[in-house]
Amino acid sequence: MRIVLPGALPDPREARELIPYLQKTAPTLFGWLEHAQARILDADPAGTGCTPFEYWQLRARGFEPEDGQNFATGLGPMRASALQNASVAPDDAVWLAELVHVSPSRDGAALLPARELSITHEQSVALFASVRESFADAGFMLHETDGDFWRVELPDSFRPQCASPVLVSLTSVNDWWPQGMDARPWRKLVNEVQMLWFDHPVNQQRYQQGLLPVNSLWLYGGGRPEQLRSAPSDVQVHGTLLAASVAQDWAGWIAALGELEAGVFLPLARHETPKLVLTGRTRLVELETARWNKWKQWLPGSREAWRKWWSPPN
């Protein structure tokens, strides 16, 4: 069994200050950390183009970027594989256009991904119908899906390195918006989509419901299904720490940790110690308790060794 905890690895300064609360609130997890062997991985989104959790998901499925790709490239086939009506050949590049909300911000523009917008299937179908012809006119082939994103076939001359929409939502659109000349047709197409959707009936209805409009698209992916193997089956993902970690709400983080202790860690403690994956803002740690590690507790300082990766000195 492998337990994945997105947002469980604070930045070093905060991690150091949280140690007493970790020991008190989640003693089971604390004990696992003391006895585990750690593998620390750099997962800086500036290089991967995706969040550390997405980076771990892709590594778990064997994805390795090729020339001209980043890790976020693999999100295209990974997300498309969950669709029931996706007909994609193993060697086809899978590009996705996610329905998003974009608004002005202090840093330029902020993005909300589809998972935060409560988009219905009917709304997705109506928005798709309104822009399909525009895509074709611009040299892009658009394919409807049963999700809150659509599959796109790009012109041969356009193969961008894109960022995950989840990562963009945590940073800024300006950090990741394609600026090259080869991206000009895509930028022009997105501008046209934004104008078409400004007063679209779907968004008028959403305004009446108190929902944010779906006013743009975010392009990402480009990997091929043959670059991925099947997802591991012995994985549990518990994401209740992530929102508090992103917001740096450490009181909320501690409260969520207590819920995990009662509902997840304690019940598992009655069985074999699970493997763990903790993700942070720019790094992740994989933890495994080997049989010989149980004897390490008797060595001087061994039970404190985990603090070196939990809160490394700057």
Residues 9 and 122 in one domain: no
Q: What is the enclosing helix (H) or strand (E) of 165?
A: helix 165-170
Residues 126 and 172 in one domain: yes
Q: Domain containing 276: what range?
A: 2-48+231-310
Residues 285 and 188 in one domain: no
Residues 210 and 73 in one domain: yes
Q: Is residue 56 part of a domain?
A: no
Residues 291 and 148 in one domain: no
Cα dist from 257 to 9, 247, 266, whole Å: 12, 15, 12
The pLDDT, as a whole number, for residue 86 is 64
Q: What is the dihedral of CA 285, 289, 295, 301, to 10 degrees?
A: 20
Kindly give the confidence (pLDDT) of every residue in the chain, 314 residues in length, as a single tens digit, with 9 standing for 90 and above: 899 999 999 999 999 999 999 999 999 999 999 989 999 999 999 999 999 999 999 999 999 999 999 999 999 999 988 775 667 888 999 999 999 999 998 888 999 999 999 999 999 999 999 999 999 999 999 998 877 999 999 999 899 999 999 999 999 999 999 988 999 999 999 999 999 999 999 999 999 999 999 999 999 999 999 999 999 999 999 999 999 999 999 999 999 999 999 999 999 888 888 999 999 999 999 999 865 455 555 444 456 788 999 988 76
Q: Are 258 and 264 in contact (CB under 8 A)?
A: no
Task: Identify the domain boundary among 187, 204, 227.
Answer: 227
The pLDDT, as a whole number, for residue 298 is 44
- Helix, strand, coil in percent for the chain, rounding step 5: 45, 20, 35
Q: Is residue 57 part of a domain?
A: no
The pLDDT, as a whole number, for residue 107 is 81
Residues 11 and 74 in one domain: no
Task: Estimate to the nearest angstrom the gap between the alpha carbon of 78 and the chain centroid.
Answer: 12
The pLDDT, as a whole number, for residue 289 is 80
Task: Identify the domain boundary among 205, 227, 249.
Answer: 227
Q: What is the enclosing helix (H) or strand (E) of 111?
A: strand 108-112
Residues 242 and 165 in one domain: no
Q: Is residue 55 part of a domain?
A: no
Q: Is residue 260 part of a domain?
A: yes
Residues 183 and 170 in one domain: yes
The pLDDT, as a whole number, for residue 287 is 95
Q: Is residue 264 part of a domain?
A: yes
Residues 95 and 238 in one domain: no
Tell me how many domains the chain contains. 2
Q: Is residue 92 part of a domain?
A: yes
Q: What is the DSSP string of 11-68?
A: -HHHHHHHHHHHHHH-HHHHHHHHH-EEEEEE--HHHHSS-HHHHHHHHHTT----TT
What's the pTM value of the predicted model, to 2 decimals?
Answer: 0.92
Residues 173 and 304 in one domain: no
The pLDDT, as a whole number, for residue 202 is 97
Task: Identify the domain boundary among 192, 227, 262.
Answer: 227
Residues 129 and 208 in one domain: yes
Q: Is residue 54 part of a domain?
A: no
The pLDDT, as a whole number, for residue 300 is 44
Residues 213 and 296 in one domain: no
The tokens for 207 are: 């305004």
Q: Is residue 53 part of a domain?
A: no
